[in-house]
Structures are given as structure tokens and as C-alpha cells.
Structure 1
Amino acid sequence: MFKWRTASLIYEDSTYGAGITPELVYILQGYNTRVTDSLALPIDATESYLDTLLYHLKENSTRVFIVHMLPDLAARVFHRASVANMMSDGYVWIATAGIGSAVDSLGPDRFHDMQGVVTFRPYVPATDRVMNFTVRFKERFLLENSGIRDVPNPSVPLLWAYDTAWSLAAAINKYSVSSSTPGTGRTLLGAVLNTTFDGLAGRFRLVNGQLQLSTYEVVNIIGKSARTVGFWTPESGIFKNLKATNEKGIKQILWPGDLAIAPSGWSMSSTGRPLRIAVPSRLGFNQLVEVSYSLRTNTSFVTGYCIDVFDALVKNLPYPVAYQYVPSTIYSSYEELLSLVFEKKADVMVGDTTISMSRMNKVAFTMPFTDTGLSMIVVLKKDSSGSMWIFLQPLTSTLWITSLAFFFLTGFVVWAIEHRINPEFHGTPWQQFGIIFYFAFSTLVFSHKEKLESNLSRFVVIVWVFVVLILTSSYTASLTSMLTVQRLQPTVTSVQDLLRNGDRVGYQNGSIVKYWLEEMGFHKKDLLGYVESPT
């Protein structure tokens, strides 16, 4: 609506805070809006930590901030932002419904720190029931807490809690559930899920265990209250008045600094100089980042996939940004480069940088746009395909001996059954021995020519032929695998194998792989850093 194309996201580092972050970034991209910073705040963040983070945001050009966190942490963030003069002209603060739902219960000090903030809250009509409840709630609260004078109005979550208690009471009354009845918990839960009524906060109806909310208010915090400037529904989007949903847009908003005109959403860097972009000047992985030098002109050229992504991002910003690449000293570590950003000697670092917890404690990372992963380079198993006896390896010695024994046993059993009734099994002892030997091995290729007279011998041969079929198929598959697949088998298949064997492991200098290996249990003496040769 206001043509903002960049925003910074500040969220609580918890399940609640990170839950909507991917979806929010995805939705904003659909509206051609980019999240330039995505910062997670610990719930117990100190004031100095908040000041450092806000100073970092203040140094950037983006002036639109989306805040998604619970009210307590949000109040501290807005207070430190007010101290940093970031609740003044040119800034835009948008808070999600977790903050907007609790606006009515905020104290005067918190209202003072949130002047001009735009937020959202579920729409609850100011009916007579709600007004009556509010009066009774305050009277009851003052009666039980005589030392408190100023009692805020009940917030939307409090009204939801009240309606939830009513739904539980209604379910018990309707279904007459007794605590002594078997399966009471499941029956009671089903009764609550099927309960619908008009509560204080609107129609109480659960779908898949979730309260269905159809309308939100867009509110602007001004003075000591929150002023409704519009509404939103899934069907109609944003509009000014509930009675005229076709009247799109919102009413006048007073932005931070009491500005009636919407801020541009960005400003030039407060330092007034081009951004200094630190680039790792390293050998290897030139497809990601490569720094080349010209001795004739004494200048450097920066190329690579990461550089192309950054250039495309800057060119699509709605405001001009001047920047210059500053290649680092060759072979310097990533920690040194990140320290330059942390110490404000450089504004940004662009390169193939792995995100880790220790690094996140120093600098803020953008959303990851690629994942290179980890790989090992190991020696392959010795190729044994050149041996003339490789055809013996698919079967073990015991299996070879057993197979030969069953060859002769099958031939002997068939001869014992057939030689009395079948002329083809007659002859001298040497001829009969030859028939036994020949018949047994001819079944290997299913080429035996002797006709069998006895059904019993036919049964023995059928069973043996089936065994031979399985044996030959397994032998062929194993020999084929040995001649092809085993040539590609590595000597080590996982890092755990190296750890168990106490092997020495090499890694690229400056890579975070070293710290991962140390955390896995490798000793420093077993880790060898290497530098890729220019040639």
C-alpha cells in the first residue's frame, strides 16, 4: 500500500517468534518486498545487546521494521529504540497481533515508547456485554488488589480466556459429564470442541482445535490509546469501515515523529560514504567467490556466484546504494573478516560463509540462499579386478566345498534310483562314475541329455535345478558387483570411522570444519590445515 520494498524483521528467538518467519518472508516476496535483515532476539536480551542490534539497524538504509514477539520483550525493544531516537521521523514500526492484542493492557510508559506504531488485533465489537464485563472486571480487580489504582481494560487474550472457561462450563452442563465416568477427559474434550456460542470476543467456534478469527483491526498507537484506522478480513482485504467493505485502504495514520505523510521507508547511510563490502580473497571454490588482480593496473576484480547474487539484490533496491568491494588479505580466516564487520571496519561481508552459533553472536546473517554441505575426500579401496582368480571371490571356500559336495551327492542319488531301471545308467563302473559326474555338472547349464524313468529321480532333479538357478544367479550378481560397484567403494564411509580409528584429518584453513571436528571429539594434533595451491 505504501510502496515499501525492503523491511527488517525482528523476532523473538523462541518457538513463537520463529514460527511465522519463513511464511512471512515468503509472503512478502510475493508482494515484491524483501527482508534485508532477519534478527532473532533472545528472550533475556540485555539492554546493551538491544542497543548494539538497534545501532546496527540504524546504520542500514532500511527504515521499515516488522516486530514479532511477545509484549514484554517488545516493550523493551521499543523503549531502547526510543532511547536510540529510532521512534522519530522517517521510521516505520509494524507490530504483529501478539503485541496488538495486548495494547489495551499496556501502561502509560509503554504507550509513550510506542508512538506511531501500527499493529493488529482481533476485532471485538464494543457491545453492552463487553462494557458491562469491563466494569465488573475492574471493580472486582480493585476489590482484590486495593493497592492498585489504574486498572487497564481487559485485553483480547483475557476475553478469549473468559470465553474458553464458558465453553468448558457449557460442555459440562450440556453433556452432564462426571469426573467418575470412564473416558471423561476424551468426552469432555470432544464436548468443548463441538461447543459454539456468542461470547464476549465474538462467535466462539473451534476448527481443528483453533479459534476461528474472521476480522482484524488495524490500529495506530497515538497518545495514550490505540486508534482503529482500518479492518482486515480474508475475503475483503484491508478497508476503512466495517459497514463499507468496498471502501479500500485505511484512515490517516500518524507515524513516528507525528508525521501524517507516510515515510519513504529508506534513507541514505548515516555515514554518507559508500558501503565497504569485505570479500574473502582465497584460493579454491572460485565458482562462489574469486578475486583476481591486475598487475598492470594494480586493481582487483571480484567475481563469482555470491557476488552476482549481491549485485542483483542491490540493483533491485528502490533506492540507490553506493558500495565498493574490499578484497581481504589472502588466506585470512573468515573469523577475521567477520570481526571487521563486527568492529565496523567493514559494513558487509559477501562470500561463501557458513552460519554458526559463534558467528551469529557477532554479526547478523541474511537468509541462507544456498547450501554447499560437507564432503570427504578419501582413498578408494584397492581394485582387485586385475586378479585372474577374481571369479572365485563371489563364493566363500566353505560354500564352494558345500556346492561341490551337493553336485556329487545329487548325481549319486539320481544314479542310485535310475541304474536298475534305466539302461542309460548302465555300463562299466568307470562309465557309471562318468555318468554320475557328467549328469551332476550338466544340470549347471541345464544341458543333461539322460532321460529319467523314475518320478522320484525327476523330483530330486527339479529341486536341485531350482537350487542351481538360485546359486548361479547369486554368483553372477556378486561377480558383476565386484567388477563394477566395488571399484567405487571408499575406504572410509563416515567421519565416525575416522574418529574410531584415530586417523588424521585434513581441512581447508579458515574453514569452520575445524571447529565441527573438534566438537565431534577429534584431537587438535590429528587435524591438519591445508592451503590450496594456486596451480
Structure 2
Amino acid sequence: MKIGLLILFVLFLVLPPDGIHKSLAARPSVVHIGSILRFNSTIGGASVVAIQAALEDINSDPTVLNGTTLKVDMRDTNCDDGFLGMVQALQFMETDVIAIIGPQCSTIAHIVSYVANELRVPLMSFASDATLSSIQFPFFVRTAPSDLYQMDAVAALVDYYRWKIVTAIYLDDDYGRNGIAALDDALTERRCKISYKVGFSSSAKKGDLINLLVSVSYMESRVIILHTGAGPGFKLLSLANQLSMMGNGYVWIATDWLSAYLDANSSVPAETMYGMQGVLTLRPHIPKSKMKSDLISKWSRVSKQYNHSDLRTSSYAFYVYDSVWTVARALDAFFDDGGKITFSNDSRLRDEVGGTLHLEAMSVFDMGNNLLDKIRKVNFTGASGQVQFAVTGDLIHPAYDIININGNGMRTVGYWSNYSRLLSTVLPEVLYSKPPNSSLANQRLYDVIWPGQTAQKPRGWAFPSNAKELKIGVPNRFSFKEFVTKDNVTGSMKGYCIDVFTQALALLPYPVTYKFVPFGSGTENPHYDKLVQMVEDNEFDAAIGDIAITMSRTITNDFTQPFIESGLVILAPVKKHITNSWAFLQPFTLQMWCVTGLFFLIVGAVVWVLEHRINDEFRGSPREQIITIFWYGADSNILELNISRSRLRALGSPEEYAKALKSGPKRGGVMAIVDERPYVELFLSTNCKIAVAGSDFTSRGWGFAFPRDSPLQIDLSTAILSLSENGELQRIHDKWLKTGECSADNTEFVDSDQLRLESFWGLFLICGVACVIALLIYFVTIIRKYLRHEHPEEPIPPEEPSPKKGGSKYNCRKFFSYLDHKEPPKKKQTLSSLSSTPTTPVTNFTVLEIERPVRTVRNGSVVDIED
């Protein structure tokens, strides 16, 4: 007794209260967990072997549960019959278990998740249904990647090969429907879409499946996503091969059900593999680890022991193996914290008299929340890789292998990881060790052998032979009919744009049936925004013609490669010959303001600067007269320049263009015209006295409009590029748009885009005036200084005649002498010169410079040198 009290006292001193509680808490000798599987399936059979292998390893390791034996009670369930499967799952929940491995079926997982929440039993499920989440079901723990990630990988694959539409075939249950819904969202994010989807029952007959495939063959898309189970999936692939739907042009992408089956089954019939040549499938990526290699090495022995010798390891087997280990590690931490396994009844769970479910037998796990918390905190390296749960309840680092079925086996052509959401040939675990890089330029896959044994990437779609006739909206123009208009005699559409479209269609490798539907009355030009809107609303399958590609339109529609440039330019008369005193300002005004910007046309600030120099006939309302411009509004967004509509005037034909510009704003015309370059070039080809003032101030082009993600748009863009490269596009241009030639020698106007000598006359004038003024100021200053200067009298040699004072020659000589020296030079006078001058009274004394003899030193004395 005293010894026991002493031990308790020592423990109290040494261990903290929590430690005493842990040491005194008794661990049970046996702990039961449950498992709901479908035994007769490939995944179910592999899961049975994985669970048994995990139990052997856990129970033989004394460091895991410290003497507690872990046991798993397995129950078979029927995934094909949803109702029966739910009843079987509910009957299993009558037993007291602290955690459940499974179920593998999404339909059953939904029902069991509700029950697990009420009973507080963690559900370790590897069901991939995207709608199963820990938000709705707190006790749901997903131990395999969700279909959200798998469908993101499929969408990345579709986008990588630049396919825009796909066909989805799926099993019509929770697993299939929810998976395709996740795929639809992932494709939409990448501007792709499911153009046709069709579901079928797991009990569908052969005839039903054939009809399904025939309906798929009528669709445009040749990229088929197959999201089913192994049984119906192989039936569909076999029938598709019989219907010649596994040949050239087709793309088949199967979700991970195919890789799971091929990995787990050691022998697949040769005819089955032959019918799947070129198929792509996904497999959850399992990195290398010690637990993985240990499980593979013991798999053969354990599978024979439990009558599944025909099965091999697969990704789902690794996930199930780690699920058991996760529960074991969480239980160990649970017991260390003093956790106890106790159950209590819930009064709300009562069965009707004579019922078979025995709901009252279901018990609530009292400390289920504690065990769930320990499960979510596990962190270890298992057979499937790093076992750690994110905040969302999913495993971290989901990744997939991209598999190509070829020959008798499978070949990995790349990987997808949630880290970058891109495809790569680099292992995901290597990418996770580097900084994230989501640049599309880093995407790469190895070469794929496609159905039909070809390495050339399929186009992904085809124009079906029984497809409906395309309705092509075509503007019925009133002016500039050379571009597109309706021929009133034949009723057909003709013009430059029509020829480009028909020539591009001729280059497509498949026939396209279509009909042109005129849009507009022909008495006025139609509104093109409305035409594009009709394409968006599927009233037209496409719209062709002189349709500018603008930002507002590309938001809702797709356009082909532009077949002609259509930037906006300004038309204005830039006069070359001046006829009145004030008109010299006009060329300067137009060239300076119209060319450099639009600022002159938008705000008219130049008018106020030059108003005092112009004649009274231009006074009044300058914003309404001088800055009145015309915007050809049939195909341009008038709001791009923020010009008020009150300052715009609509002109309906090229003749009105010329008349309005010739009249000018004073006589009801306009100062300038803003229009797209193709119209301007066609107009100038027959109107030589008008030119472009300035350069393009927008950059755009004309293209053909299609609904969003139309595959025909891509092929037509390629065809237009081919027309441009082989010169056919230029030939069509010359046929319709070169209607006249203007001679530059006969025009009174010049293109202010081109710099000529007269373009700089203003600069020359300013420089010349400045130079003349500077010279005048200089000469005036010099003359004033010269006149103020006193000139000394200079002696004149006797042999020279005496110049007459005041003569022009004399004065010029003195002036230029002054310019040269600033003042006349002073002469040196000698004695000889003085002796020759007449004797005069000396009134002033002058110091004369007398020449001295040169001296030197000889024998120590200074002597003069004689001449």
C-alpha cells in the first residue's frame, strides 16, 4: 500500500497533470473499424488486399498502437443498385465502429456521410465525387483526389491541344453527373465547352449503347470524354471500335477508371487492348516511397492469401492502404490524449415495429470529434505519397499521370499537378520543390500515338455530313457596295468580303453547306452591332462582311484572322494653292491639328487660338461649323473618341463625302471626315482632290464573326492566312477595290501623311524672319557705334592723291576699316617722316618713338652694331 502511494506521489511530481492522465488511461486491447466495399469490382478486390496488408504491418509494429490490435469488419455493398446498396450500408452502421474505410461508390457515400455525421464516425472514403465535401459532411474525409482535380487535368489536356468543344459520355448516377458538371466548369474557365453530353444507365443494353454512339458520331466534336465505370466503359470502347469511331480524327480521353483497371488486372485480353489504341487516360500520381515499395513486394503473397491473386497494385490500393494507417496513427494520438471509446444511444433513432433496419441499435461515438481532429492532423509519408490534409479536407498535392494506350501496355506522356495546373514532363514532386510557375510556355507533353496509329494531332472536330445548313448573316449595304451587297438581279450576295469567305471555305478539308441571309433593307447601311448580337444569340451561325474587330465585340464573339486592316483615319482637303490673303493659315491648321491628333476635332482648342486671324465669315459658332466632322457610324463605335453626337453628321454615300468636304462648314459641309481606311482608300481611288490628313489613330481589322468557341473560326483563320501567303487575297483586293487611279500631278491637294518641301514652309518662314531681324538689329547697332566714333587724321603719302573728304569711296573705305578693326589703325611715326613735314607751331607735345641701334657685348663691354 505504501509502495503504491509512493509511486503515485513520484508520478505526481515528475509528470504534468496531462501526462498522469495519459499514463493512467487504459488502452483497449482491440479496436474495430469498418469497411464498405464492392467485393466483385477491381477497385473493391484490390482494396480488400490493401486493408489486410495494412493490418499486418500495423499490428506487427509495437510503436504504432502500443499493444492495441486493430481489426477491420468488411461488408459488401451493391453499387449498381443504389437502393439496395443504401440498405446494406445502413445495416452495417448498426455495429459500433469508430471509423469506416470506404465506401468506394459515390451514391452510397452520400447516404453514409449523412449517417456518419449523426453518429460522429469519421468516414475515410476514396469516392471521387466532387460534391462530397467536408463543408457539408464534416466527418467525411477524402483519402483520394477529388474529381475536381481530375476534371481540371482533363480540361488542361483539352486546352493544351487547342480543342474548343468536346463530347461527354457518362454514367447517369451521382458519380457521372457530378463529374461532368465539374468538367464543364473547368472547360469554361479555359474558354472551352461541352458541345454535347449524353448519359446512360449501368444496366443499358447493347442496342442502347449503339444508338448513343451513333448520336455522338453525328456531332461536330471528335474529342470524347468517357467518364464511366470499368464494365460499361469497355463495352462502349468495343462498340466504338466496331462503328469505326476509333480511327483517324477521333480523340478518346477516359478518366482514371481505365488506368485503375489496367493497373490492377494482370491479364487483359489482346482484343480489348487492340480496340483501345490511342486512348488517353489519367492515373493519380503515386511518387516513390519506402512504404510503396514494401507494399509492392508483399502484394503477391497477401493477394493469394485472400483469393485475389489475379489483382495487382493500383493507385486506389495505395490510397486504401494509407487510409488504414491514417486511422491507426490518429488512434495512437487519440489514446495519448486520454481518449476513450464509448458509445451512447440517440433517442431520435427508432425503427418502426417489425422493421429490419434496427435504427435503435445505432450508437453515437462519444469522442468522435476528438478522433476526427487527430485524423485531420496526421502527417506522414505513406504508400501513396505525403499523407496530409488541407483545410478543405482533401489530400495536399493532388497530381495525375497522363497515360497513352499503345500496343500491349501504357506509356506516360506527362503529368498534371494542382501546383501549377499545367501539363509537364517533370515529375510533380520535383515541381513542388521549386517556386510555382504558371506560364503556359512551360507546358509540354511527350508525343502521343492517336487513334488510327498516327502521331499527327487530330483537329478535334469535323463538319458532319448530316449537319444543318449554316445561316450566314451578310450586311446588305447601300453605299460602298464593292465590299458586300445584294445583287438585285440574281438575288445573290457579292463583293470583296464574299469572295474572301468563299475562297477560304474552298481551302477547308471538308465540305460546308451554308446559305447567305441578307441583313438590312439595302436602302441604308445596317447597324453592325446588331448583326454581331444576332450571332451571339444564335440567330446566325456566322456573320461575314466588312465587320470591324472591336474590343466590345470580341467579349461576346470570336473573330477570324483579319483579312484587311481597317484603322480609323481623317479625310480633309489640304490646299496646295492659296487664293486669298488669309488662306495661308488653312494648310497649317489642318496639318498641325488634324494630323497630330484628334484633340483639334474633339475639343476644338485651335479655333480660339486662330480666331482673331480669320475672316468674319467663319465667326459665329465655331464648334458647330469649323469642327463639324462626319463619323461613318455603320461599323464604328462612336463613343471611342468621346465626341458628342450633336457634333456628328451622317453622310450616306461617297458622293456626299466629296460634296460635304468641298462645301466646307460655312456652306453646310464638314471640316473633316473620320472613317475606316478601306472605305477611305476606295473613296480616294476616284476622288483625287481629297487626301488623308494624318495617320491611323486606331488599329483594327475586318474579320468574320462566329459564336463563342466555334471550331470553324480556327480553320477559317488558317485558310485566310493561306490566302494571304499565296497572293490570292491581294488578287481579290485588286479585283474589287482598285476602281480608279488618281494622278498626283493633277491634284490640288496633298496627303499630309507625306512630308514634302512645302510641309516645312512655316518653319522656313519663321527661321528666315528671325535671321533678317537679327541682321537688321546688328547693322543698326554697328552704324550707331560708327557714327559716334572720332576718326584721327591720317597722313597721306605724297605720291598718292589726296582723297576728297566726304566722298562715297572715302566713307566706305573708312566704314569697312572700322568693321575690320573697330577703329582705324594708328601709324608709327619716325624722325625722317617728321623732317619732311612743314613746320608748324607746337601747341601739343607728342612722344615720338625713336629707333635705337642694336647693341651687343664684346670682351666684357657693351658696343653698338654698325649697319
TM-score of the aligned structures, taking structure 2 as reference length: 0.31
TM-score of the aligned structures, taking structure 1 as reference length: 0.50
Give the number of the structure whose alpha-carbon radius of gyration is greater. 2
